[in-house]
Structure formats: structure tokens, C-alpha cells
Amino acid sequence: MHDRLRIVSVTYNSAEVIGAFLASVPEGIEVVVVDNNSQDTSRDIAAAHGARVIALPKNAGFGTACNRGAEGNQKEFVFFCNPDSTLTPDCCALLIAAAEKHPQAGAMNPAILNGKGDLRLDRRSALISRAEYTDRRYAAPGNKDSVQVNILTGAALFCRQAAFDEVGGFDEKIFLYHEDDDLVYRMRQAGWTLRIEHGATVTHLGGKSSGSAIKGAALKAYFIAQSRMYVERQHGVSMPGLRAAVRAVAKLLSPLTLLSARKRAQAFAYLKGTQRFDMTRYQNGDYMP
């Protein structure tokens, strides 16, 4: 089993969490940590745990870093895991067994639990219709169902390397956010299926890999706005500009925004992201505020 899988994790100032993640990986599985120019000890910690470290000279974004980690992989599978995650001992074996049972599955999520043990389910995407959303029942406590779905999350994304290669990996024009939606959408277009395998389990703390201050939350909102507009235009979603404007106004007018400095910062940053978006500039790497 161990010689069939490579695990890839992307770090950016992730010293607080990367050690626990690597300690949860079963012995003998190849791990590649791609570091996006951290200013902490993320690279040293990863190396001390036996991971192969690829140190990028700048923060190249999540998808680009994942692609660097998957390059040259001769194994059947690649498992992209956020550094603020931990794996159960049988997680990888169960995912490989599921891939054998479902040979047309290009990518899968395990059950992804939050720090409280509740199941996280990303049901929606800008790239699928409401009718294609994952059914809410698959988020029920204790659910162990395995099911074919139409969208997956990149927090713990297990891919068949052949499917990942066929669609060209992550779109490196996307700096951060929605790159997972784009990847698995393209897999579906290529004829691969997507699955959630709830028997395998990952705990994902969320927001712990690079901090969660107000400034960081605002920057995240800006990138979400930019990336969503990009993927919608790439895949022909109707009226992406109008959709973005409506979302931005809704965030600004939300009662929660009035009560929270963090929410206000996010709402204004999201609006800025929508106003500044230009497809040509974004494709040329001009996505910063």
C-alpha cells in the first residue's frame, strides 16, 4: 500500500501545525512538503519528520505548490492534505481500497471532521447547479456512507495520478481559493467521477496554517472574490460580474457585518476584489490588492 501513494502538503508559516500532521502519516508513505516561502520553521520541522521539502523562492499559491509536489510522481495516487490536518491510521489504506473498488473515480474526499469532531461537507460550488449540490444527509453525525458527488474540497483531496495528469493538474493562474472546484470540475468534464468515502477520516482544524487575524481574513476574502470570478469566467458561468456584485452587496448589508470588525473587513475586501478584477491582469499574475 505504501508504495502506491504520495502525500503532498503545502506550508506557509505552518510551524504550529505541520509537525502534528506529519506525525499522523503512517510510516513508509512518501511525503512531500512544498513550502511557499515561510518565514517560520515550517521547513525545518518538515525535514525533521522525514518529509522531502521543496522550498519555493516566493509564495506561488496553493495550486502551483501542489503541482510542484506532484511532479514526477510515479505512484498511482497523490493525496493533497492541508498541514492543519491529521489522518487516522487507516485513512490512506481505506482510500486506496475505495479507489480499487471504483476505478473511474478520479478524486475522492475522506470524511473531513472539524476540531469538535463534526463532519464538514462542502456541498456547493460556483461551478455546479443547485440540483447538483451534495445532499445534506451526508453531513449527518456518524454517517459512514460512500457516495458519488459533483464537487469536492481541496482540504484533503485524494487523486488518481492519471486523472490529475490528464487534466493538467491545478490551474496555476489561480493564486488561492476555488482551485479545487476548478480541478475536480475539469475531471468530471474528462469523464472521471468524484466520491466521498466517509469510512476514511481526516480531522481538519481549519484556519490554523497561516493565522486568522483580521488583516489575514480580509486578504482571504479578497482572493476568494478574485478566484471565483476567474473560475466562473473560465467555465462560462453566466453574468459573473453581476453575480459578484450581488454577493458583495449582500455581505456589506448583512447584520453580522455591522456587529463584527472582522466581518466588515472581509466584506469590504470582497467588494474590492470584485471591483479590481480584470481577466487579463489576473491571468498574468496581477492578483494582489
CATH number of residue 182's parent domain: 3.90.550.10
Q: Please give the Cα distance from 289 to 278 (Å, whole number).
A: 12
Least trusted range by pLDDT, from 142-151, 152-161, 189-198: 142-151
Spatial CA neighbour of 83 closest among 211, 220, 216: 211
Count the domains in the chain: 2
Q: Please give the Cα distance from 204 to 44 (Å, whole number).
A: 22
Spatial CA neighbour of 77 closest among 8, 12, 155, 175: 8
Q: Is residue 124 included in any domain, yes or no?
A: yes
Task: State what percent of residues in the chain have pLDDT above 70.
Answer: 97
Q: Is residue 260 included in any domain, yes or no?
A: yes
Region of 169 on the Ramachandran plot (φ > 0 left; ψ -120 to 50 alpha; else beta): left
Using only C-alpha atoms, the chain has a radius of gyration, in whole angstroms, of 18
- Considering the domain architecture, whether residues 239 and 150 belong to the same structural domain is answered as no
Cell 448583512, residue located: 254
Average pLDDT over residues 122-148: 88
Q: Is residue 163 included in any domain, yes or no?
A: yes
pTM of the model: 0.93
Q: Which domain holds residue 58?
A: 2-204
Average pLDDT over residues 194-212: 78
Measured in Å, how far apart are the chain's first and last C-alpha atoms? 44
- Considering the domain architecture, whether residues 195 and 61 belong to the same structural domain is answered as yes
Q: Please give the Cα distance from 199 to 91 (Å, whole number).
A: 8
Q: Please give the Cα distance from 240 to 159 (Å, whole number).
A: 29
Would you state the pLDDT for residue 159? 98
- Considering the domain architecture, whether residues 134 and 178 belong to the same structural domain is answered as yes
Region of 13 on the Ramachandran plot (φ > 0 left; ψ -120 to 50 alpha; else beta): left
Q: Is residue 275 included in any domain, yes or no?
A: yes
Residue 210 has pLDDT above 50, yes or no: no
Least trusted range by pLDDT, from 173-182, 184-193, 278-287: 278-287
Q: What is the grid cell recorded at 133?
A: 449540490
Spatial CA neighbour of 159 closest among 99, 223, 248, 117: 99
Domain boundary among 152, 175, 204: 204
pLDDT band at 206 (very low <50, low <70, confident <90, very high): low
Q: Is residue 289 included in any domain, yes or no?
A: no
Read off the amino acid at residue 249.
V
Region of 211 on the Ramachandran plot (φ > 0 left; ψ -120 to 50 alpha; else beta): left
Least trusted range by pLDDT, from 2-11, 92-101, 212-221, 277-286: 212-221
Q: Please give the Cα distance from 204 to 218 (Å, whole number).
A: 22
The answer to whether 265 and 215 have CB atoms below 8 angstroms apart is yes
Cell 490529475, residue located: 164
Would you state the pLDDT for residue 16? 96
Cell 482572493, residue located: 223
Would you state the pLDDT for residue 212? 52
Q: Please give the Cα distance from 269 to 271 (Å, whole number).
A: 5
Q: Is residue 196 included in any domain, yes or no?
A: yes
- Considering the domain architecture, whether residues 52 and 187 belong to the same structural domain is answered as yes
